[in-house]
Structure 1
Amino acid sequence: MNQPPRFIGSEIYRHSSYGHWHPLRVPRVSTVMDLARALGWLPAHQYLVSPRAKPAALYGFHTSAYVAALQAAETAQAVSDAVRARHGLGTHANPVFPEMYRRPATSAGAAMLAGELLREGGIIYTPAGGTHHGFPDRANGFCYLNDPVLAIQSLRRNGATRVAYIDVDAHHPDGVEYAFADEPDVLLVSTHEQNRWPRTGALEDAGSGQVFNLPVPAGFNDTEMAFVRERLILPAVAAFRPDAIVLQCGADAVTEDPQSRMALSNNAHWAVVAALMPMAPRFVVLGGGGYNPWSVGRCWTGVWATLNGHDVPERLPNPAQDVLRALKWTGQSRVKAPPEQWVTTLRDQPREGPISDEVRTRVAQLTARSGVWA
């Protein structure tokens, strides 16, 4: 893999929002782009503008009726009761907003382009991706289209025969599991907070393919993630011998995120990225959840640093601080002003702690069930 990692982004995310009250009102991808450029980490030759997926390109997973309904909802800026009931559009979680087709179609286009670009190997980062809850005929959990599924399908069309999908988001990837639970040539490993929406992904859920779900307790810390990484994620991937890896790197598992009760630092995410990077010739890294604008921007910019081998400075230079100081979290009562470390640093302080008996027991159960790396 002689070509440097490539970053697929778009300006559509800069001014697009699900609405002033929605958790996805915060800037995320644009913050990563601006922060990476301020640090000198995103030269023009590594940046690609995402294409927008054409409707027919989405039919590999989504139904034509659903895609048509999504486009019509964007055009009309309204949905009927029948469309809301059938397709999950125009709900509190999946509202009508001006770019409700164009925005997810752009991240879907990036995911499919990634598969094409990696025909000969390499690394692609598309932080706008990771919408892992989407179903073929229905929006679900802020996800209108399922770009992880589309990325895996694209990789397989372009020469990959065994794809490992790893998901460290705080929420279980129910849409991805729906797509591939019975596929022996797709490995799924998910760590997610137990009793957290969508309340799927039980330890016992294994499909008939290669599915390993690890629900973790609230307060899940860096030490526990390191244990899971070394005892579950890496052995599972090594035994599977993939020729492509897709990592969904949702930032909602960090302590500061309002949508989970996990207690990771961004170091945990970066360590998973670094460990998986040499394990297959094709590597796609997606974003996912992340609803605190400072923590998600810092986490995902550090993912890009990890993919490129950049040293993370102890203190950010002023141009990078300016990006973080300019962020707003309107309508959010939890943070009146960001703590200084959120704007002066990229790396969190490690959040280490004891490994709970629950985590040890569940990892042991999955290891025993595998019959391969036990």
Structure 2
Amino acid sequence: MLTQPLFIGSEIYRGSSYGKKHPLRVPRVSTVMDLSRALGWLPPAQFVNSPRAKPKALEIWHSPDYVAALQAAEDAQHVSAETRARHRIGTLDNPVFPEMFRRPATSAGGAMLAGELLADGGVVYSPAGGTHHGFPDRAGGFCYLNDPVLAMLSLRRQGVQRIAYVDIDAHHPDGVEHGFAGDPDTIMVSVHEEGLWPRTGAVEDDASGSAFNLPVPRGLNDTEMALILDRLILPVVTAHRPDAIVLQCGADAVEEDPLSHLSLSNNAHLRVLRALRPLAPRLLVLGGGGYNPWSVGRLWTSVWGELAGHEAPDRLPPEAEAVLRALSFEGNRHGRNPPEHWFTTLTDTPREGAIGDELRTRLDMLTARLKASY
């Protein structure tokens, strides 16, 4: 069993970008690494350099033709119209860029390594992970490979049977749901913005009984997320009695994200994390979406602090503050006049509010399903 939480990262994310106009032009994992080190939270003994998954290893879920197409596209920096149509690479969402195979293969390698490291129990954090839209034969939603699926299959190879996958990204994890639909040993809970791409995950969708989908209205606040945690996430996970929990902790559900319309503070994510941690002997926490560099850096560093047992300071020390002040967000309104607290703190002010009737109704539906299932 791991004696301390481990952080899986890589320098490949520092210089890699999907392109100057793509939402993933912003630094994310490198910011978390730098900020954690500036705070003294990431000693060498807890940092694991992510391996790059070999093509053959990816074929445990992805098709050989697709893996080969990704490699060929990286080598040629071009795709044919046929490849674009079949595999959905070389599109605006899933562009050709210099590390388009090596970068996702690194996050996939980290996820599969996490499964091995967790064989006997413990906690692993891989903020580069969480690419939950990848399908066996195609890319989707900025995701070329599906590292959550690969991580869970890695856990299975270690003899871990019952897995709970919890996803609090603003987008529905369509690729993960596809990967484990109907698997009685895997349960999925997804809280995602209603009507947001990929526009899947309706409350009525049950994926043969293995998924609890909760689409939420725009403006979801911390009070509502606390209710979701108490009435849906914790009851489902507790009833499943998992041997391992995989938490996808997408930062795009935070209010300042430019691609979604939810109003959470980063306290909501940390509250979910704290509540889930004692419910299984193995915990893997992944990143996911998040397209405001300050929101992502502050939230994901806070997640690592929580896992590693560190308390966030009221004001960041100068070295950590310098990491956040060095960020920029060109071409977006959030980057014009960032508020001072984005530079000086990790934790947001809570964003409490009223609980909507529509949310209560959907929770009632899912609660009834849960009672009928267990």
For the aligned pair, the TM-score class normalised by the smaller chain equals over 0.9
2:327 maps to what in 1?
Answer: 327
**What letter matches 2:302 in structure 1?**
G
Give the match for residue 269 of structure 1: 269
Q: Which residue of 2 aligns with 1:122?
A: 122
How many residues of Structure 1 are paired with residues of Structure 2 in the alignment? 374
What residue in structure 1 maps to residue 253 of structure 2? 253
Aligned to 1:14, the other structure's residue is in SS state helix
Aligned to 1:214, the other structure's residue is in SS state strand
Shift of 1:60: 1.2
Partner of 1:99: 99
Q: Distance in 1 between matches of 2:7 and 2:334?
A: 32
User: Mean alpha-carbon deviation: is it higher for 364-373 or for 167-176?
Assistant: 364-373
Q: Distance in 2 between matches of 1:333 and 1:242?
A: 42
Quick one: distance in 2 between partners of 1:360 and 1:345? 33
Matched with 1:90 is 90
Q: CA deviation at 1:332?
A: 2.2
Amino acid at match of 1:370: L
Deviates more, 1:42-51 or 1:2-11: 2-11
Which residue number in structure 2 is paired with residue 233 of structure 1? 233
Return the letter of the residue paired with 1:355.
Answer: I
Aligned-partner Cα distance in 1 for 2:235–2:341: 35
- Whether the aligned pair in 2 keeps the contact of 1:247 and 1:285 (CA below 8 Å) is yes
Cα offsets for 1:49-72 (capped at 9, x unmatched): 000000010011100000000000
Give a deviation string over 1:69-100, Cα, whole Å, max 9, x none. 00000000000000000000100000000000
Residue pairs, 1:45-194, within 5 angstroms: 45-194=45-194
Amino acid at match of 1:187: I
Report what 1:366 is aligned to. Answer: 366
Q: Distance in 2 between matches of 1:42 and 1:64?
A: 37
Q: TM-score, normalised by structure 2?
A: 0.99
Could you tell me how far apart the structure 1 residues matched to 2:43 and 2:261 are? 36
* Inter-partner Cα distance in structure 2 for 1:352 and 1:223: 5
Q: How does 1:327-366 map to 2 (within 5 A)?
A: 327-366=327-366
Q: Distance in 2 between matches of 1:187 and 1:173?
A: 13
Q: Say yes or no: does 1:200 pair with 2:200.
A: yes
Q: Which amino acid aligns with 2:260?
A: S
Return the letter of the residue paired with 1:239.
A
C-alpha displacement at 1:330, in angstroms? Answer: 2.2
Q: Write the letter of the residue equivalent to 2:189.
A: V
8 Å Cα contact 1:20-1:330 kept in structure 2 = no
Q: What per-residue deviation string (whole Å, max 9, x for no partner) do you get for residues 202-243 of structure 1? A: 000001132100000000000000000011000100000000
Of residues 301-310 and 191-200 in structure 1, the stretch that sits farther from structure 2 once superposed is 301-310
The answer to whether the 8 Å contact 2:328/2:335 transfers is no
What are the equivalent positions in structure 2 for 1:22-33 lying under 5 Å apart?
22-33=22-33
Kept in 2, the 8 Å contact 1:236–1:373? The answer is no
Q: Contact 2:256 / 2:334 at 8 angstroms: preserved in 1? A: no
Counterpart position of 2:19: 19
Q: Amino acid of the residue matched to residue 111 of structure 1? A: A
1:334 Cα deviation (Å)? 3.7
- Matched letter for residue 286 of structure 2: L
Distance in 2, matches of 1:209 and 1:281, equals: 24
Q: How far apart are the structure 2 equivalents of 1:131 and 1:334?
A: 24
With structure 1 as the length reference, what TM-score do the two structures score? 0.99
The equivalent residue for 2:281 is 281
Shift of 1:373: 8.6
Can you give the 5+ residue segments of structure 1 that lack an aligned partner in the other structure?
none
Counterpart amino acid of residue 330 in structure 2: T
Q: Identity over the aligned pairs, expressed in percent?
A: 68
* Correspondence list, 1:32-43, <5 A: 32-43=32-43
Query: Is the 2:302–2:347 Cα contact (8 Å) retained in structure 1?
Result: yes
CA contact (8 A) 1:239 1:373 kept: no
Q: Secondary structure at 1:300's aligned position in 2?
A: helix
Q: Give the deviation of 1:372 after TM superposition.
A: 5.5
Change beyond 3 A, Cα 1:208–1:373:
closer
Q: Residue type of the partner of 1:327? A: L
CA contact (8 A) 2:166 2:248 kept: yes
Cα displacement string for residues 174-193 of structure 1 (whole angstroms, at most 9, x for unaligned residues): 00001111111100000000
Partners of 2:20 and 2:178 lie apart in 1 by 31
Residues in 1 aligned to 2:115 and 2:192: alpha-carbon distance in whole angstroms? 26
Contact 1:162 1:186 in 2 (8 A): yes
Moved over 2 A (4+): 330-335
Whichever residue aligns with residue 124 of structure 2, its letter is I
1:275, 1:333 → 2: CA distance? 34
Two-structure CA RMSD over aligned residues (Å): 1.0
After superposition, the C-alpha distances for 1:145-172 in whole angstroms (9 at most, x for unaligned) are 0000000100111111100000000000
CA, structure 1 residues 361+277, in 2 after alignment: closer, same or farther (shift >3 Å)?
same
